[in-house]
Amino acid sequence: METPEQRIKIAVQKTGRLTDHSIDLLERCGLKLTQSKDQLFLYGENMPIDLLLVRDDDIPGLVSEDVCDLGIVGLNVVEETRQRLLANGGEPRFRQVFELDFGHCRLAIAAPDGTGYSDLSSLNNQRIATSYVHILNDFLDENGIDAEAVYFSGAVEIAPKLGKAEFICDLVSTGGTLAANGLVEVETLLESEAVVIQTEERLSEAKQALVDRMLQRLDGVLQVRESKYIMLHAPRAALAEIRDLLPGSEAPTVMPLDGADDKVAVHAVCRENVFWETLENLKSAGASSLLVLPVEKMLA
């Protein structure tokens, strides 16, 4: 059994929008987990890897300070923490390693419907309510706008009704919350999704090897999500054209077909989705017996 120092820790949101996706992703990397009694951890049963369950806002800090070696968190939180650390003379000691394609949203400025907004200069001398003070101030500075960021820890969308601000700057996904509060988006500051961050602290050799192994598995799981294995028969004469039609595939395997000299079997891993249109185009180019299979695991 490893000592606690030899186990790696991954910071994951305890309860919220990212929780299920994050745990599911790590389980697909082969990690089997059991919950601790205090519900602060999920222990890895089959690998020396534990998940620390925390508020999403704490994740970049925990990774920066190497309390955790890796973390899964929204880019919005990563960027806000980075800007805050820099503004306070600190140093963000984490780096982003993967985008995860879940938790999509955008950080946007919105105004009550009917506000006369023409361009960024309309924000001059206005108050903007937000939980993302550092990203917002950075954006305002970059654009030479003189506006006041008013900190709100939650329910930012009611700030204009309370007379606390003329604009808000908050996360938007469907836009339903803005619409329900009579607000319209006027500017986008950041497109966000969940990302994996890694500490920049130097790790022991054993821990670094474990982190690298986990990152390689994550890479495999992320690649597999979009990948398909495609098999087809092709006339030799149409091989070049068919090869060009295979979406996102590297060198396909080409094999002879027993008793058919003018035809070959083509097998390829396509790293993009294979749509019906692609299959129809392949068929028009002469392909037959087309088969598309999901890929379960991949190790580059």
Binding site for ligand PRT (CB under 6 A): 13, 16-18, 55-57, 74, 76-77, 103, 105, 170-177, 192
Q: How far is the CB of 172 from ligand PRT (least distance, A)?
A: 4
- Binding partner of residue 192 among Zn ion, ligand PRT, none, CB under 5 to 8 Å per kind? ligand PRT
Q: How far is the CB of 161 from ligand PRT (least distance, A)?
A: 15
Nearer to ligand PRT, 110 or 221 (CB): 110
Q: Which residues contact 272 (CB under 8 A, 6 or more apart)?
A: 226, 247, 248
Nearer to Zn ion, 56 or 187 (CB): 56
What's phi and psi for 151, nearest 5 deg? -75, 130
Q: Where are the alpha helices (DSSP H) in 30-187?
A: 59-64, 75-87, 133-142, 176-180
Nearer to ligand PRT, 15 or 35 (CB): 15
Exposure b/e, 242-261, CB count within 10 A at least 16 = b: bbeebeebeebeeeeeeeee
Which position's Cβ is nearest ligand PRT? Answer: 74
Exposure b/e, 31-61, CB count within 10 A at least 16 = b: bebeeeeeeebbebeebbbbbbbbebebbbb
Say if CB 19 and CB 10 are below 8 A apart: no
Binding to Zn ion (CB under 5 A) within 54-93 occurs at 56-57
Write the binding mask 28 to 57 for Zn ion: x where contact by CB under 5 A, - elsewhere.
Answer: ----------------------------xx
* Interface ranges with Zn ion (CB under 5 A): 56-57
